[in-house]
Amino acid sequence: MTVQVLANSPLIAQMAPLFSNAQLLGAVGRVFRFKGKTAVHSRDGNIQVLLGRTLIILEGSGTEAEKRALLDLLDIPAIESFNG
């Protein structure tokens, strides 16, 4: 599995409206809450979470449960504090 962290990218500005609208995000995949944040398990198996100006993407051959376990290991407060 791979964890991608995209910070202050133009892609994030395009993704923000999608994450703020659960119906639109539902078209991408199954929406769930992760530590109070909106996340999506997309049809291609990736998990994406938007944290302010940072997008976290977990991808690879692991199961959804394995990806969620890896997501739980990330220091979310530290990532959010990076956003300023």
Q: Give 38-80 pLDDT, tens digit per residue.
A: 899 999 999 999 988 889 999 999 999 999 999 999 988 888 8
- Residue pair 40/48 in contact (Cβ under 8 Å)? The answer is yes
Single pTM value for the model: 0.86
Q: Which amino acid belongs to residue 45?
A: G
- Residue pair 60/1 in contact (Cβ under 8 Å)? The answer is yes
Residue 59 tokens read as: 């991808």
Q: Which amino acid belongs to residue 31?
A: V
Q: Whole-angstrom Cα distance, residue 5 to residue 59?
A: 12
